[in-house]
């Protein structure tokens, strides 16, 4: 009986840690990552598409943030491919 009395508070704590509450707030938009100097000259070949903002106001999809910032025309990028 003593074992159960000690076990119950532990179970309550463990189970309450797993509970999630729905949020009424919309998902936060991805923040733009600003390309900093010096620009990268060598990047990995991983594919995690990003949408880059170019100096002329256009957008272009790059394979990853490093590749985007390797282009001097890019000012910033956000995760995910650009909308078509």
Alpha-carbon span 11 to 38, nearest angstrom: 53
- The tokens describing 77, both together, are 């990028």
Q: Are 67 and 41 in contact (CB under 8 A)?
A: no
User: Considering the domain 32-84, what is its CATH architecture?
Assistant: 2-Layer Sandwich (3.30)
Question: pLDDT tens digits, residue range 2-40?
Answer: 765 776 665 555 555 555 444 443 344 568 999 999 999
pTM: 0.64
CA distance 53 to 77: 6
Strands 74-79 vs 59-62: parallel, antiparallel or unpaired? unpaired
User: How is the chain split into domains, by residue range?
Assistant: 32-84
């Amino acid at each position: 009986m003593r074992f159960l009395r000690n076990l119950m508070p532990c179970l309550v704590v463990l189970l309450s840690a797993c509970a999630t509450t729905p949020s009424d707030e919309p998902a936060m938009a991805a923040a733009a990552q600003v390309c900093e100097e010096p620009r990268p000259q060598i990047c990995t070949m991983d594919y995690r598409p990003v949408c880059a903002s170019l100096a002329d106001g256009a957008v272009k999809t790059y394979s990853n943030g490093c590749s985007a910032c390797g282009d001097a025309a890019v000012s910033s990028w956000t995760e995910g491919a650009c909308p078509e």
